[in-house]
Amino acid sequence: METNQVINLIANILLTIGITLFMVFIYGRSTMIDKLPFLERIIIKIALAMSACGAFFNVLTITASHNSEILFNSGLAVVFIWAAWFHFKYFVKK
């Protein structure tokens, strides 16, 4: 396995976990999301679920990607891990 495949695999694993935890933290309890109109809630939920499923599919296929995609996946992984940690620390842990 090449180095870029390993980096992309780790990024996609973290991305899948980060998005899943983020969704659990914002939909698993009463939040501001509940006050949004129905269509907006569905759009957010579908977009997050599609992103998590796409990252998980990338984990299953372990393909070699372009450097830009690896960088993008790594950045998204960091953002969603941070978002999940932030919600846990400031809203769930209380």
Distance, in Å, from the CA atom of 56 to the CA atom of 61, rounded to the nearest integer, reads 9
Domain tally for the chain?
A: 1
Identify the pLDDT of residue 17: 96
Mean pLDDT for 23-33 is 82
Domain span holding position 22: 3-92
Residue 69 has pLDDT above 90, yes or no: yes
Higher pLDDT, 29 or 88: 88
What is the band of 91 on the pLDDT scale with cuts at 50, 70, 90?
confident
Question: How sure is the predictor about 26, in pLDDT bands with cuts at 50, 70 and 90?
Answer: confident
pLDDT in tens, 35-66: 889 999 999 999 999 999 999 999 999 877 89
| R_g over Cα of the chain | 15
